[in-house]
Structure 1
Amino acid sequence: MPGGGGWLKNQPLDVPGALTVTSGIILLIYGLTNAAALGFASEWSFIPLIFSALVLAAFVLIESRSKAPLMPLDFIRRGSVLTANTLALVLTSIVGGVGFIVPVYFQNVLGYSAVYSGLLTLPPALTFFIVGGWVAPRLVNRFGAKRTLLVSSALISVGTLLLTPMSPNGNAFVLMPGLLVWALGASIGFPAINIAAVAGTRPGEEGLASGVVGTSSRVGFPIGLAILLTIAGAFDPPAAGNANASTSTAGVVAGFQVAMLAAALIGVLGFFIALRLKDVKPPWASGDWKQNEAALQQAGP
C-alpha cells in the first residue's frame, strides 16, 4: 500500500532452491514417519533419511551460491532466528510424541474405546484452544516472549513428568493433571515462539521468518514421534523375547514411561535454549503501532 512502509524486492524465483528444500523436507518427514513405526534400522527409514540429508545439503550449497536465494544463509545463522527455530523443533517434538503415546496407552493398554479415549483428551484439547487463542497472546504482550517460553518449557517438562505413573492396570484420570499441565505449557509456548522468530528480522523478512518457523514446527512433530517411539521400543523389556500378554503389556508401559522421562529432559533442554532468547514483545504491546497508524492517517491516500 502507498505510504504503508511496506517492503518490495523484485528478484527471480529460486527454482532450484525451492525444489531441493521441498523434496528434502518431504523425504525427511517420510523417513521419520517410517522410523516411528518401523525403527531407524529399517531401509524404509534410513534410505529416505540419507537422501534427505543429501538433498538438503544440496539446498544449502545452492543457497550459498545463488544471487537471489530463497532463504539467505545469513538469515538462518542469525542468533535470535536460529534459537527460536531450534526451540520450535524441541517443543513441537515433545508435543508430537506425547500427543501420540497417550492415546495409544489409553486404547491399547487400558482398553478404552476410541470414543472414550477421545473424550479423555478433550480437556487438554480445550486448553490448547482457549489458552492458545486468548490467554497466550496476553501473556506475551505483558511478559515478553522469553519469559513466556521459559514458563512454557518448565510446564511442559513438569506435565510430561507427571505422565510417568502409567501402569498396565492404571486409570486415565491419574494422568489428567499431567495432561493439563503439559497442554497449558505447550499452548502458551507456540504463540511466543512465533513472536521470538519474527523479532530477529529486518524489514521485509517477516514472511520468510514466519515460513521458516512454521516449517520447523511441522518438522518437529515427526522428529519427536520417531525419537520417543524409538526410545519406548528400545526400553521395552519383552521386545527381544517371547512373553505372555501381561508381561508384554508391562514392557510396553515401561517403554512409554522411559519415553516420557526423555520428553521431560527434552523440555529441560528447551528451557535452557529459551534462556538464550532476547526478551521481546510484539510491536502492538508497546503502542508503536498506534504511532505508525497515526502517521499513515496524516500522510493520507
Structure 2
Amino acid sequence: MSTLDQAPPAITTHPSEVPENGAAAGGRQAPRMTGRQKLVLTLLLGAQFMIAVDFSILNVALPVVGAGLHFSLADLQWIATSFALATAGFTLLFGRVADLFGRKRLFLGGMALLGVSSVLGGLAVSPGMLLVARVLQGLATAAVTPAGLSLLTTSFKEGPLRERALGLNGALMSAGFTAGAVLGGLLTDLLSWRWAFLINVPVAALVLILAPSAIADSRPAARSRLDMPGAVTVTGGLLALVYGLTRAGESGWGDTVTLAMLVAGAVLLTGFWFAEKRSAAPLVPVQIMKRRTVIWGNVAGLIAFVTETSLVFLLTLYLQKVLGYSPLSTGLAFSVLGLGTVIGGTLGGKTVGRIGNRATIVTGGVIQAVATVSLIALGTSGAWIWLLLVATFIGGIGNMLVIVGFMVTATSGLPDHEQGLATGLATMTQQVGITMGIPIMSAVVTARMTALGTTGPGTVLSGVSLAILVNSALVLAGALLAAVFLRSGRGGTDAS
C-alpha cells in the first residue's frame, strides 16, 4: 500500500420547516444558530477536523518514522494500513453502538482514546509500540466519526441549519486531509515526527473539558440487545475486504492472499445480509438498505472518495517522480486543493437548499470530472504546475459538492434513533472508498508502465495520465447514476 493512501475525506425524520430556497415560510430569513449551537458545532467540527488530519499527517513523515524506529521497508506501510483496518472495520459497528448506548458517551470515550493513543505514538520506542498506537487511533476514529456526525445531525433539524453544518463538516474534513500533509511536513522538518502524534493531545483535552456540558446527551428510551452475529460478520467482512484491497496495491490483484481476503470479505458480508434478515434487533435493518436514498447516496459518496483521494496519490507520483518535488513541496502544492474543498463545503449546504440533493451531486460530479480529465494534458515541464493547481482547485469544489450532497441524501428521512447507523454507513463508505481508490489506480499505473517496458519520468507520466482518464470516467459514471436513480428533492426523503 502506498504511504499516501490515507486521506482523507447525517439526519432526523422531522420535516424541514423551510422551503427549498432556504428561506423560512412567509419570506422570513432562514433561522440562525443559537450561541449553544455554535459552541456544539465548533466542538464537533474541531474533533472531526483533527480526525481528518490524522489520516494524512504521517504520510510525508513515514520514511523518517521508519528510520527512527528501525522499521523495515516492507513493514513501513503497516503504519498506514493498521490505522485503515481498524477504522474501516469498526466504523459501522461503533455507529450502531452509539445509537444503542449513547452517542455522547461514545464520542467522549473515543476522544479520550484518541488522546491516550496519540501520547503512546508520540512516545513510541519500537515498531510494535507505534503500531499499537495506530490501531488505537483507528479505533478512536471509528468511534468519534459516526458518533460526532450523529450528534451533529440530531443537534440541527433537517433544513438550512443542518445543511450548513454538514457542508462545514465536509469542508473541514477535506481541508484536514490536506492540512495533515502540510502540517506533517512542517512538524517533521522543524521539530520531530513525534509531534504528528502529540499535536492531538491538547485538542482532545480541550474537547473533553468543554463537550460534557455543551453537548446534549442522546440516549435511546429503551436499550436493545446488540446484534452479535451481524457485528461479527460485518466487522470481519470489512476487515478482510480492506486488507485484501490494501494488499492488492502491494502485491497485485492476482496474489493468492489478496484473492483469499477479497473472497472471505464477500462471503462474510453476504452472511451479514442474511443474518440481518433473520435478526430481531438487526445491526442494520434490511429495510434501510432498501431505501433508494441510502443505496444511491452511498454509491455517490463511495465514488467521490475513491476518485479524489486516489487522484491525490496519482498527482503525488507526478509531482515527486516526474517533476522532482520534495514531500513538503508536494504537501504545499495540495494546499490549493484544500482551499477548493473548503469553498465547496461552504457552498454545499446552500447548493443543496437551492437545487436539491440530486442536482448538487450531479453538478459537483460533472465539475470534478471535467477538472480531472484536463489533467491528462500534464507534461514533464515544471510549468505544468499551474494546470495542476487550477484543476485541483476546481475539482476540489466539485468533489465537496458531491460529498455534501451524499451526506445529506444518505442520512435524510431517518429517525433520531437510527442516526448513528446512518452516519456509520456513510463513514464506512468514506473509509472503504479511501482504501479502494489507491489499489485500483496503482494497478492502472503499473499495468501501463509494464506495457511500455521502460522506466523514467515519461513512463510514469504515461501511467499517471491513463489512471487520470479512468478516474474522471468513474466520476462521470457516478454523476450519471445519481441523475438516473436519485429522485429530485431537498432532504432526499424518497424511501423507495
- Does the alignment pair 1:118 with 2:326? no
- Mapping 1:54-69, distance limit 5 Å: 54-69=267-282
- Mapping 1:42-53, distance limit 5 Å: 42-53=255-266
Q: Is the 2:374–2:391 contact (alpha carbons within 8 Å) kept by the matching residues of 1?
A: yes
What CA deviation, in whole Å up to 9, does each residue of 1:256-301 have, x standing for no partner?
A: 1111111111111111111121233249xxxxxxxxxxxxxxxxxx
- Does the alignment pair 1:252 with 2:464? no
Q: Is the 1:238–1:251 contact (alpha carbons within 8 Å) kept by the matching residues of 2?
A: no
RMSD after superposition: 2.4
**Matched residues, percent identical?**
27
Q: Is the 1:163–1:178 contact (alpha carbons within 8 Å) kept by the matching residues of 2?
A: yes
Deviation at 1:201, TM superposition (A): 3.2
Q: Is the 1:158–1:181 contact (alpha carbons within 8 Å) kept by the matching residues of 2?
A: no
TM-score by length of 2: 0.52
- Does the alignment pair 1:162 with 2:374? yes
2:411 counterpart SS class: helix
Give the aligned residue type for 1:120: A
2:376 counterpart SS class: coil
Runs of 4+ displaced beyond 6 Å: none
Where does residue 279 of structure 1 map in the other structure? Answer: 488
Query: What is the rounded CA distance, in whole Å, between the counterparts of 2:262 and 2:413 in structure 1?
Result: 30
Where does residue 22 of structure 1 map in the other structure? Answer: 235
Which residue, 244, 262, 266 being the options, matches 2:474?
A: 266
Query: What is the rounded CA distance, in whole Å, between the counterparts of 1:282 and 1:72 in structure 2?
Result: 21
Query: What is the rounded CA distance, in whole Å, between the counterparts of 2:481 and 2:335 in structure 1?
Result: 30
Where does residue 230 of structure 1 map in the other structure? Answer: 443
Q: Is the alpha carbon distance of 1:78 and 1:282 closer, same or farther for their aligned partners in structure 2, counting shifts above 3 Å?
A: closer
What CA deviation, in whole Å up to 9, does each residue of 1:12-65 have, x standing for no partner?
A: 110121122112112211111121232211234222212111221221121121
TM-score by length of 1: 0.84
Q: Is the 1:80–1:200 contact (alpha carbons within 8 Å) kept by the matching residues of 2?
A: no
Give the aligned residue type for 2:369: S
Q: Is the alpha carbon distance of 1:137 and 1:44 closer, same or farther for their aligned partners in structure 2, counting shifts above 3 Å?
A: same
Where does residue 361 of structure 2 map in the other structure? Answer: 149
Structure 1: segments with no counterpart, 5+ residues: 284-301
Q: Is the 2:321–2:460 contact (alpha carbons within 8 Å) kept by the matching residues of 1?
A: no
Query: What is the rounded CA distance, in whole Å, between the counterparts of 2:377 and 2:247 in structure 1?
Result: 28
Query: What is the rounded CA distance, in whole Å, between the counterparts of 2:378 and 2:263 in structure 1?
Result: 36
What CA deviation, in whole Å up to 9, does each residue of 1:134-190 have, x standing for no partner?
A: 222122222221111111110111111011113334532222221112111112221
Q: Is the 2:338–2:393 contact (alpha carbons within 8 Å) kept by the matching residues of 1?
A: no
Give the aligned residue type for 1:136: G
Where does residue 297 of structure 2 map in the other structure? Answer: 84
1:136 counterpart SS class: helix
What CA deviation, in whole Å up to 9, does each residue of 1:92-112 have, x standing for no partner?
A: 111121021111210122111
Which residue, 13, 22, 36 being the options, matches 2:249?
A: 36
What CA deviation, in whole Å up to 9, does each residue of 1:233-257 have, x standing for no partner?
A: 2222556x4x3x44xx322211111
Q: How many residues align?
A: 275
Give the aligned residue type for 2:270: A
- Does the alignment pair 1:74 with 2:287? yes
- Does the alignment pair 1:215 with 2:428? yes
1:12 counterpart SS class: coil
Q: Is the 1:34–1:45 contact (alpha carbons within 8 Å) kept by the matching residues of 2?
A: yes
- Mapping 1:180-191, distance limit 5 Å: 180-191=393-404
Q: Is the 1:162–1:177 contact (alpha carbons within 8 Å) kept by the matching residues of 2?
A: no
Q: Is the alpha carbon distance of 1:83 and 1:161 closer, same or farther for their aligned partners in structure 2, counting shifts above 3 Å?
A: same
